[in-house]
Structure formats: C-alpha cells, structure tokens
Amino acid sequence: MIPTKGVLSKLPSSWVPYAELSRIEKPGGLYGFYMAYLIGLGYGYMWYAAQTVGAGAAIACLPSPMLALAYAVPIQLSVSLYPLAKRHTDFPQLVLSAPIAGGVLMAAASLGMDPFTTSATGFLFMSHYIWTTIFDYVNACQDTADDIKAGVRSMAVRYQNTSLFISTLGAAQVGCLAATGVLAGFSPVYMIGAVGGNALWLAAMVLTVKRTRPDISAALFAEYHSKSDGLEDAEVDE
C-alpha cells in the first residue's frame, strides 16, 4: 500500500520500499546512531561553524543576499580544488586565484552592478587574479626545496627565476589596474596612489625575493617557517 501521508507519501512509489527499509519515516534510530558523529564534528569544528555563521551573517547584510550567495557557493567549492591542484598540476596558484578574485564579482553584483557587462570590473577582477597568483608564488618560494622533496607541485617549483616571473606577471597586473582606472574614470589620485604604489611594491619584490633567502618571502607575508635543512638546496636562480 502506498502511504498517503508523511515523508513516504512524497517519494516515488518505487522508492517507498527502500525508504521503509531505511526507516526514514521513523528516524529515532538514525538520530541515535549518528548523534555521536554529529557531536564529534561539532566538537572538532566549533571555530569552523562560527566562521560559517559569520560569513552567512555578512552575506545576509548585503543588499542582494541571495545573489551574493549564488556567487559565494561556487567560490567556496572552487577553493576545495586548490589542494588537489598542488598534487596534480604545476599551476595551483591559478586555481587559488580564481575564487579569491571572484570576491570582486560577488561584491559588485551584490550592489546591483552586472560585473559581466562592465569592462572596468573585468579588468579589476583580472588585476586581483594576477596579484593573487604572484602573492602565492612568492609565498611558495620559501617552501620550494621542501615541496620538491614532498612531490608538491606549484608554479614556484616550475618557474624558478623569481625576477622574471614577478616582473612579467607584475606588468600585466599593473596594466589591468591602470585599465580599470581609465575605464571607470578614476582620478589621478587613483593612478598615482593605487597603480603607482602597486608598481613600486612589485618592483621591491623583484629586487628582494630570493630563493636563497626564504625568510624574506616569509617576512613579506608574515608566514615565516624555519627551513633549517633546505636553504642550500634552494639556491637555484642566484
């Protein structure tokens, strides 16, 4: 007999026997069995839960929270691909940069702007995308020797001429930032402060980042880790 009420009545008739076998309509046992796992997850990830709630609250405060959520979900899912990219490609920085730069698109859309029809927003996205790639590349430079030993792949392992890498991508990033200002009609203050200041910062990175000095990369991004046994192996481009 096909149930006429309850959760079973909502299912296709062919699914009902399997649902009854699983006791979906009588979930007491299910709750009891999985409660320990739920408690363990809650205990181990209370801080994670707090961050999730905080992120949800921040999205709820935006003018178009559901639209922002539509951007936030794929951004969060794409972040999970980053660890896999470090094992299976030489370009994990390009994977990481997409969801981070995606915040530009999400923020613009949540304020009522269509980011896909505004050229200035597209250049701003690309500027942030390239900058994140540079940022993570320099950060990975301090771990190159250990990454090679562990089999971790990255652009820092593949492209070991730091000056050439930062200069090339830096020029593209500054160009995108300048294009944003031109298309958006920003004042000279933006060009001097944002574009010029960014160019100077990149130039400083070109001059200071060296694989023989992983402490410099660590100091730039406040992520210092002692590498007592890898310095001599990291002397590859100086």
Give the pLDDT confidence score for residue 167 in this predicted structure.
94
CA 81 to chain centre: 9
- pLDDT tens digit string along 120-154? 999 999 999 999 999 888 888 877 777 777 777 88
Comparing CA positions, the residue from 74, 82, 93 lying closest to residue 158 is 93
Torsion of CA 100, 102, 104, 107, to 10 degrees: -110
The answer to whether the beta carbons of residues 109 and 64 sit under 8 Å apart is yes
From CA 124, how far away is CA 133, in angstroms rounded?
Answer: 14
Give the pLDDT confidence score for residue 181 in this predicted structure.
94
Instruction: Match 């839960």 to its residue by tokens.
Output: 49
Give the pLDDT confidence score for residue 71 in this predicted structure.
84
Residues lower than pLDDT 70 in the chain: 1, 21-23, 25-39, 41-45, 47-48, 212-238
Amino acid at 210: K
Give the pLDDT confidence score for residue 195 in this predicted structure.
94
Q: Say which DSSP state 14 is in.
A: G
Tokens in use for 59? 């999205």
Give the pLDDT confidence score for residue 66 in this predicted structure.
82
Amino acid at 159: Y
Separate counts of helices (H) and strands (E) for the chain: 13, 0
Give the pLDDT confidence score for residue 218 in this predicted structure.
61
From CA 79, how far away is CA 9, in angstroms rounded?
Answer: 39
Domain definitions of the chain by residue range: 64-234
Amino acid at 82: Y
Torsion of CA 220, 200, 134, 169, to 10 degrees: -160
User: What pTM does this model have?
Assistant: 0.66
Which residues neighbour 205 within 8 Å (Cβ) at sequence distance 6 or greater?
134, 138, 166, 170, 220
